[in-house]
Structure 1
Amino acid sequence: MNIALGTIPFGTTVGEDDSFAILDRFFEAGGTMLDTANNYPFWVEGRSGDESELTVGAWLAARGNRDEVFLSTKVGARPTIPGDTTLDSAEGLSAPVVARAVEGSLRRLRTDYIDVYWSHIEDRSVPLDETLGAFDELARQGRIRSAGASNVSAWRLERARSLSVSRGWLPYTYVQLRHTYLRPRPLTRPVESGHVLATDDMLDYVNAEPDLTLWAYNTLMAGSYTRPDRPIPEIYDHPGTARRLAVLHEVSSELGATPNQVVLAWLIADGYVPIVGVSTMAQLDEAIGAADVKLDDELRTRLGAPC
């Protein structure tokens, strides 16, 4: 199942027992990819940012299935000032921070290696070669098996990958960005601090690079495709959105699937890994059902035509 389970609320708004139940169901359905970070959810008052990793680590230890899970976590966006709920004091991506942060993640996750380790946000105060060299050192130590860049621009990703290749270092082979079926207005930015949208240039770059995989977050826009109480974000406010939504609902009806499932199936068909954050079993079951939704060439063409 080419879907990653987002774990932001685990250990906070979703308690440990419910988190374990969701993780069990995902794993039993064939899901193996888990996405967390060393700062989830620091922006919630009274939270440290340890909670998600701690909960995932407790589940892995309880189930004894670490080697059957593809584990993803991140460094760079953890506040250095206790109680800071912004990114103003983010730890950044210097070599000492990367070396120290990975130890904390490994401890909380109760593992001795991470399958893909992400630079969470850009840190242009640190030279790229310092960050990339630190990631390569972690790979040589066996602490990480692959590297990814989250919330990065296409030109910076290309520069980083080229630099790693020239030095013989571990390159970024994953990129994580905000991406969904709807397309934003050009030159718009999400209101959420730190979020970076997948641009047409980035999607073109990913599609041209066989060793590069996009993990997409905010794929279902927190329920906006199906819940009247969750309005479509303002960045998608343009005439093309209405046309695109109309086709989405037509295809969903024809397939007997939900709009959410078609969105996920559309992303999967493009070779991307959608990250799905859930807080209930019903939400998880809907997402799992997307793996059985098949889009033929005609349906993909129809879904892709409106703009």
Structure 2
Amino acid sequence: MSFGKNSTEPYVQVGNSGLFVYRVGLGTMQFGWSADEAAANAVMNTYVEHGGNFIDTADCYSSWSNALGGPENPGGVSEEMIGRWLATQNRYDIVLATKVRAAMGMQFCDSRATFKQREGLSRRWIIKSCEDSLRRLNTDYIDLYQAHFIDPLIPIEETLSAFTDLVRQGKVRYMGCSNFSAWRLMQALWTSDKNNLESFISLQPEYNLLSPTRGDFETELAQVCENYGLGVIPYSPLAGGVLTGKYRRGKELPQSVRAEENAERRFSEQNWNIIETLVSVAERNAMTPAQAAINWLRAKPVVTAPIIGANSPEQLISVLNGLDKKLSAADVDELDQASDFHRPRTSLET
């Protein structure tokens, strides 16, 4: 049975590594924010019932909840919810990913000096954060441990050495990164090779039809990942829910915790044109806009498995039901052209 990138089977290989994941991952940024524990459990149960095995979180999720009108959350709440749920599962059936770098518990710090000890990619913080995540996740190993974003204050050698120690101690199976620029990723790959350190196997970028960083990814990062065998697991494939079809030009905003944020960040004339093209392509293919947006990503050869989020089983099932559908090359091209202004041309492109 084949489970390769181009297989029709539901599991795909993460780059050149020995890690195989379901064709879409389950993101959990909303756990402890817009989804309480009962909702989180229902979503995770639905995901695994449909064959899913890849759950992605971060130590800081969802520490911004209180600032946006949600429950108080010092960070770690998403991991804790997953940990309690994981106790009801066969651990080895789940590919569990989390991240380190962001500040934790900053509202409890009484000085900037204290605050600086609770973030970053130093050896000290990586080791502590891994131990804390293991405890919260109720497990003795993390399948994919990711640098959430770069720490310019810390030498990459120190970061990669700490990650390597965790791998060789058996606390981490694989290393990945998120939100790295192309030169930072190349620096990390070169450093691992030069110093005989473990290497990143995956990149988690923001990548969707509306993403302002789409150009950076497509013109540089995608080539790095393809040439050096890294898997690509994009986050925010639906642009915070904007690509689900619930937002329409001239219509009242839906009632949700993210609607006002999206209105401030994502609604421009050009983005409305992209949304309308997406809706048109989706209707032509008997898909929902969300299904079409996910399948546009999955049509990109470099993409391994988009990470999707959901607040309810119904939202999740709606996306999962579209995974066996495909967009034609013409559909993909139409969406590319509609959103092409996000992708600046380089002098090397014809």
The bucket for the TM-score relative to the shorter chain is 0.7 to 0.9
Task: State the shift of 1:185 in Å.
Answer: 8.1
Contact 1:77 1:92 in 2 (8 A): yes
C-alpha spacing 1:268/1:162, structure 2 compared with 1 (3 Å):
same
Q: 2:280 aligns with which of 238, 247, 250?
A: 250
Looking at structure 2, the residues matched to 146 and 294 of structure 1 have their Cα atoms a distance apart, in angstroms, of 31
2:260 equivalent to 1:223 = no
Which residue identity does 2:337 align to in structure 1? A
Looking at structure 2, the residues matched to 7 and 109 of structure 1 have their Cα atoms a distance apart, in angstroms, of 13
Gaps of 5+ in 1: 188-196
* Identical residues among aligned pairs (%): 31
Aligned to 2:189: 161
Task: State the shift of 1:200 in Å.
Answer: 2.9
Contact 2:208 2:238 in 1 (8 A): yes
Task: State the shift of 1:265 in Å.
Answer: 1.0
Moved over 6 A (4+): none
Does 106-115 or 265-274 show the bigger shift? 265-274
Aligned residues: 293
Q: 1:295 aligns with which of 327, 333, 336?
A: 327
SS of 1:30's equivalent? coil
Aligned to 2:154: 126
SS of 2:321's equivalent? helix
Aligned to 1:180: 208
Aligned to 1:70: 95
5 Å matches for 1:103-114? 103-114=131-142
Looking at structure 1, the residues matched to 119 and 172 of structure 2 have their Cα atoms a distance apart, in angstroms, of 19
Aligned to 1:144: 172
Aligned to 1:286: 318
Task: State the shift of 1:236 in Å.
Answer: 7.1
2:145 equivalent to 1:117 = yes
TM-score (norm 2): 0.77
Which residue identity does 1:78 align to in structure 2? A
Residue deviations 1:106-143 (CA, integer Å, cap 9, x gap): 11111111111011121111100000000011110111
2:86 equivalent to 1:60 = yes
Gaps of 5+ in 2: 1-21, 67-71, 248-252, 254-258, 341-350
SS of 1:136's equivalent? helix
Looking at structure 1, the residues matched to 305 and 81 of structure 2 have their Cα atoms a distance apart, in angstroms, of 23
Looking at structure 2, the residues matched to 238 and 13 of structure 1 have their Cα atoms a distance apart, in angstroms, of 28
Q: 2:227 aligns with which of 208, 212, 227?
A: 208
Which residue identity does 2:96 align to in structure 1? L
Looking at structure 2, the residues matched to 237 and 288 of structure 1 have their Cα atoms a distance apart, in angstroms, of 29
Looking at structure 1, the residues matched to 141 and 121 of structure 2 have their Cα atoms a distance apart, in angstroms, of 19
Residue deviations 1:249-293 (CA, integer Å, cap 9, x gap): 232112100111111111122124211121122211122123122
Task: State the shift of 1:221 in Å.
Answer: 1.7
TM-score (norm 1): 0.87
Looking at structure 1, the residues matched to 136 and 65 of structure 2 have their Cα atoms a distance apart, in angstroms, of 19
C-alpha spacing 1:278/1:299, structure 2 compared with 1 (3 Å):
same
Aligned to 1:273: 305
